[in-house]
Amino acid sequence: MRTFFVAVLLLQQRDPYQVEREQLVRETMEKRGIRHSGVLRAMRAVPRHQFLPKSLWKEAYRDYPVAIGHGQTISQPYIVARMTELLAPSSQLRVLEIGTGSGYQAAVLSHVFKEVYTIEIVPALARSAETVLRGLNLKNVHVRLGDGYLGWPEQAPFDRILLTAAPPEVPQALIDQLAPGGRLVAPEGADPNSQYLVIIEKALNGKVTRRSADAVRFVPMVPARP
Protein backbone atom coordinates (compact mmCIF):
# COMPACT_ATOMS: atom_id res chain seq x y z
CA MET A 1 0.00 0.00 0.00
CA ARG A 2 2.85 2.37 0.84
CA THR A 3 4.33 1.77 -2.61
CA PHE A 4 1.01 2.81 -4.19
CA PHE A 5 0.90 6.12 -2.29
CA VAL A 6 4.53 6.87 -3.15
CA ALA A 7 3.71 6.29 -6.84
CA VAL A 8 0.73 8.63 -6.62
CA LEU A 9 2.87 11.35 -4.99
CA LEU A 10 5.49 11.03 -7.72
CA LEU A 11 2.81 11.34 -10.41
CA GLN A 12 1.41 14.46 -8.73
CA GLN A 13 4.86 16.02 -8.61
CA ARG A 14 5.47 15.41 -12.33
CA ASP A 15 1.93 16.28 -13.41
CA PRO A 16 -0.54 17.42 -10.72
CA TYR A 17 -3.47 16.50 -12.99
CA GLN A 18 -2.41 12.95 -13.86
CA VAL A 19 -4.42 11.46 -11.01
CA GLU A 20 -7.52 13.43 -12.04
CA ARG A 21 -7.17 12.18 -15.62
CA GLU A 22 -6.86 8.61 -14.38
CA GLN A 23 -10.00 8.99 -12.29
CA LEU A 24 -11.87 10.49 -15.24
CA VAL A 25 -10.91 7.58 -17.48
CA ARG A 26 -11.73 4.91 -14.92
CA GLU A 27 -14.93 6.37 -13.53
CA THR A 28 -16.43 7.82 -16.69
CA MET A 29 -15.00 6.35 -19.88
CA GLU A 30 -14.33 2.76 -18.90
CA LYS A 31 -17.58 2.51 -16.95
CA ARG A 32 -19.52 3.88 -19.93
CA GLY A 33 -18.05 1.35 -22.33
CA ILE A 34 -14.98 2.88 -23.98
CA ARG A 35 -12.79 -0.15 -24.72
CA HIS A 36 -10.21 0.86 -27.34
CA SER A 37 -6.87 0.68 -25.52
CA GLY A 38 -5.26 3.37 -27.67
CA VAL A 39 -8.12 5.79 -27.03
CA LEU A 40 -7.94 5.17 -23.27
CA ARG A 41 -4.17 5.75 -23.31
CA ALA A 42 -4.67 8.99 -25.23
CA MET A 43 -7.29 10.23 -22.76
CA ARG A 44 -4.87 9.47 -19.92
CA ALA A 45 -1.99 11.21 -21.69
CA VAL A 46 -3.44 14.45 -23.07
CA PRO A 47 -3.42 17.32 -20.54
CA ARG A 48 -6.90 18.79 -21.13
CA HIS A 49 -6.17 21.68 -18.75
CA GLN A 50 -3.53 23.01 -21.16
CA PHE A 51 -6.29 23.72 -23.68
CA LEU A 52 -8.21 25.94 -21.23
CA PRO A 53 -7.47 29.33 -19.67
CA LYS A 54 -5.69 28.87 -16.35
CA SER A 55 -8.73 30.26 -14.54
CA LEU A 56 -10.69 27.19 -15.73
CA TRP A 57 -8.12 24.48 -14.96
CA LYS A 58 -10.17 23.33 -11.98
CA GLU A 59 -12.90 22.27 -14.45
CA ALA A 60 -10.58 20.50 -16.87
CA TYR A 61 -11.21 16.94 -15.68
CA ARG A 62 -14.93 17.13 -15.07
CA ASP A 63 -17.03 15.37 -17.66
CA TYR A 64 -18.78 18.29 -19.31
CA PRO A 65 -18.04 20.82 -22.07
CA VAL A 66 -16.47 24.16 -21.17
CA ALA A 67 -16.92 27.43 -23.08
CA ILE A 68 -13.72 28.68 -24.72
CA GLY A 69 -15.07 31.88 -26.26
CA HIS A 70 -16.17 32.76 -29.80
CA GLY A 71 -19.35 30.73 -29.24
CA GLN A 72 -17.34 27.49 -29.04
CA THR A 73 -16.67 24.86 -26.38
CA ILE A 74 -14.09 22.24 -25.53
CA SER A 75 -16.06 19.03 -25.81
CA GLN A 76 -17.08 16.75 -22.96
CA PRO A 77 -14.22 14.25 -22.39
CA TYR A 78 -16.46 11.19 -22.73
CA ILE A 79 -17.76 12.43 -26.09
CA VAL A 80 -14.19 13.02 -27.28
CA ALA A 81 -13.33 9.44 -26.38
CA ARG A 82 -16.55 8.05 -27.85
CA MET A 83 -16.17 9.81 -31.20
CA THR A 84 -12.50 8.87 -31.42
CA GLU A 85 -13.37 5.23 -30.79
CA LEU A 86 -16.15 5.34 -33.41
CA LEU A 87 -13.54 6.35 -35.98
CA ALA A 88 -11.83 2.95 -35.54
CA PRO A 89 -8.43 4.64 -35.19
CA SER A 90 -5.12 3.22 -36.38
CA SER A 91 -1.56 4.53 -36.28
CA GLN A 92 -1.33 3.81 -40.03
CA LEU A 93 -4.17 6.18 -41.02
CA ARG A 94 -4.61 9.90 -41.76
CA VAL A 95 -7.53 11.83 -40.26
CA LEU A 96 -9.14 15.17 -41.06
CA GLU A 97 -10.80 17.05 -38.21
CA ILE A 98 -13.29 19.82 -38.92
CA GLY A 99 -13.42 22.29 -36.03
CA THR A 100 -10.09 22.53 -34.21
CA GLY A 101 -11.52 24.70 -31.43
CA SER A 102 -9.22 24.47 -28.42
CA GLY A 103 -7.10 21.75 -30.07
CA TYR A 104 -7.94 19.11 -27.45
CA GLN A 105 -9.63 16.66 -29.81
CA ALA A 106 -6.76 17.02 -32.29
CA ALA A 107 -4.29 16.21 -29.51
CA VAL A 108 -6.21 13.04 -28.65
CA LEU A 109 -6.32 12.06 -32.32
CA SER A 110 -2.56 12.60 -32.61
CA HIS A 111 -1.97 9.69 -30.23
CA VAL A 112 -3.96 7.18 -32.29
CA PHE A 113 -3.45 8.32 -35.91
CA LYS A 114 -0.40 8.72 -38.12
CA GLU A 115 -1.25 12.27 -39.25
CA VAL A 116 -3.93 14.72 -38.13
CA TYR A 117 -5.14 17.56 -40.36
CA THR A 118 -7.41 20.00 -38.55
CA ILE A 119 -9.31 23.05 -39.82
CA GLU A 120 -10.59 25.98 -37.75
CA ILE A 121 -12.61 28.94 -39.06
CA VAL A 122 -11.98 31.30 -36.10
CA PRO A 123 -8.50 32.87 -36.42
CA ALA A 124 -7.94 33.36 -32.69
CA LEU A 125 -8.81 29.73 -31.93
CA ALA A 126 -6.62 28.42 -34.76
CA ARG A 127 -3.66 30.41 -33.43
CA SER A 128 -4.12 29.43 -29.79
CA ALA A 129 -4.70 25.76 -30.61
CA GLU A 130 -1.59 25.61 -32.77
CA THR A 131 0.45 27.23 -30.00
CA VAL A 132 -0.65 24.66 -27.42
CA LEU A 133 -0.21 21.72 -29.82
CA ARG A 134 3.31 22.88 -30.70
CA GLY A 135 4.07 23.35 -27.01
CA LEU A 136 3.13 19.70 -26.45
CA ASN A 137 5.46 18.72 -29.33
CA LEU A 138 2.67 17.06 -31.31
CA LYS A 139 4.44 17.21 -34.65
CA ASN A 140 1.91 15.06 -36.51
CA VAL A 141 -0.88 17.68 -36.16
CA HIS A 142 -1.31 20.19 -38.99
CA VAL A 143 -3.56 23.20 -38.32
CA ARG A 144 -5.21 25.21 -41.07
CA LEU A 145 -7.34 28.36 -40.88
CA GLY A 146 -10.24 27.87 -43.28
CA ASP A 147 -13.80 26.84 -44.04
CA GLY A 148 -14.50 23.32 -42.82
CA TYR A 149 -17.37 22.96 -45.30
CA LEU A 150 -14.73 22.85 -48.04
CA GLY A 151 -12.45 20.36 -46.30
CA TRP A 152 -8.76 20.18 -47.22
CA PRO A 153 -8.75 19.01 -50.84
CA GLU A 154 -5.00 19.38 -51.31
CA GLN A 155 -4.40 16.65 -48.72
CA ALA A 156 -7.36 14.43 -49.63
CA PRO A 157 -8.33 11.66 -49.60
CA PHE A 158 -8.46 10.98 -45.86
CA ASP A 159 -8.87 7.60 -44.23
CA ARG A 160 -11.03 9.13 -41.51
CA ILE A 161 -12.91 12.42 -41.07
CA LEU A 162 -14.26 13.80 -37.79
CA LEU A 163 -16.57 16.79 -37.35
CA THR A 164 -16.62 18.49 -33.95
CA ALA A 165 -19.45 20.90 -34.78
CA ALA A 166 -22.85 20.06 -36.21
CA PRO A 167 -23.90 20.91 -39.77
CA PRO A 168 -27.56 20.56 -40.78
CA GLU A 169 -26.28 17.80 -43.10
CA VAL A 170 -22.77 16.45 -43.61
CA PRO A 171 -21.31 18.42 -46.55
CA GLN A 172 -20.89 16.45 -49.76
CA ALA A 173 -17.40 17.94 -50.18
CA LEU A 174 -16.28 16.07 -47.06
CA ILE A 175 -17.80 12.79 -48.19
CA ASP A 176 -16.00 13.27 -51.51
CA GLN A 177 -12.69 13.65 -49.61
CA LEU A 178 -13.19 10.38 -47.75
CA ALA A 179 -11.00 7.59 -49.10
CA PRO A 180 -12.49 4.29 -50.27
CA GLY A 181 -12.67 2.10 -47.19
CA GLY A 182 -12.87 5.24 -45.05
CA ARG A 183 -15.17 6.39 -42.26
CA LEU A 184 -16.61 9.76 -41.26
CA VAL A 185 -18.10 10.52 -37.83
CA ALA A 186 -20.11 13.69 -37.23
CA PRO A 187 -22.85 15.27 -35.17
CA GLU A 188 -25.66 16.24 -37.54
CA GLY A 189 -28.75 18.42 -37.19
CA ALA A 190 -29.69 22.08 -37.28
CA ASP A 191 -31.60 21.83 -34.00
CA PRO A 192 -29.21 21.24 -31.07
CA ASN A 193 -32.03 19.46 -29.24
CA SER A 194 -32.32 16.76 -31.91
CA GLN A 195 -28.78 16.02 -33.07
CA TYR A 196 -27.31 12.56 -33.55
CA LEU A 197 -23.91 11.21 -34.35
CA VAL A 198 -23.83 9.80 -37.85
CA ILE A 199 -21.30 7.29 -39.13
CA ILE A 200 -20.71 7.45 -42.88
CA GLU A 201 -18.64 4.74 -44.54
CA LYS A 202 -17.34 4.55 -48.08
CA ALA A 203 -16.81 1.04 -49.45
CA LEU A 204 -13.85 0.17 -51.65
CA ASN A 205 -16.16 0.40 -54.66
CA GLY A 206 -17.19 3.93 -53.63
CA LYS A 207 -20.65 3.06 -52.29
CA VAL A 208 -21.59 5.29 -49.34
CA THR A 209 -23.67 4.05 -46.39
CA ARG A 210 -24.69 5.78 -43.20
CA ARG A 211 -26.11 4.93 -39.80
CA SER A 212 -27.00 6.88 -36.67
CA ALA A 213 -25.55 6.47 -33.20
CA ASP A 214 -25.77 8.53 -29.99
CA ALA A 215 -27.94 11.56 -29.38
CA VAL A 216 -25.60 14.53 -28.82
CA ARG A 217 -25.59 18.31 -28.49
CA PHE A 218 -22.96 20.33 -30.38
CA VAL A 219 -22.46 23.93 -31.43
CA PRO A 220 -23.38 24.55 -35.09
CA MET A 221 -20.80 24.18 -37.82
CA VAL A 222 -20.23 27.66 -39.22
CA PRO A 223 -19.48 28.26 -42.93
CA ALA A 224 -17.27 31.08 -44.09
CA ARG A 225 -19.03 34.34 -44.86
CA PRO A 226 -19.40 35.06 -48.59
Tell me the CA distances in angstroms from 99 to 7, 147, 223, one per residue in order.
Answer: 37, 9, 11
Distance separating alpha carbons of residues 1 and 157, to the nearest angstrom: 52
Orientation of helix 77-86 relative to helix 37-45, angle to 10°: 150
Q: Strand 178-188 to strand 158-163: parallel, antiparallel, or no bridges (unpaired)?
A: parallel
75 is catalytic: yes
Cα separation, 48 vs 105, whole angstroms: 9
**Residue of 114, 106, 50, 39 lying closest to 78 (CA atoms):** 39
Collapse the DSSP code of 173 into the 3-class scheme (helix H, G, I; strand E, B; otherwise coil) and give the result. helix
71 and 42 in contact (C-beta within 8 Å)?
no
Residue of 37, 55, 75, 212 with catalytic role: 75
> Hey, which residues does 186 pair with through a beta bridge?
198
Catalytic residue annotation: 75
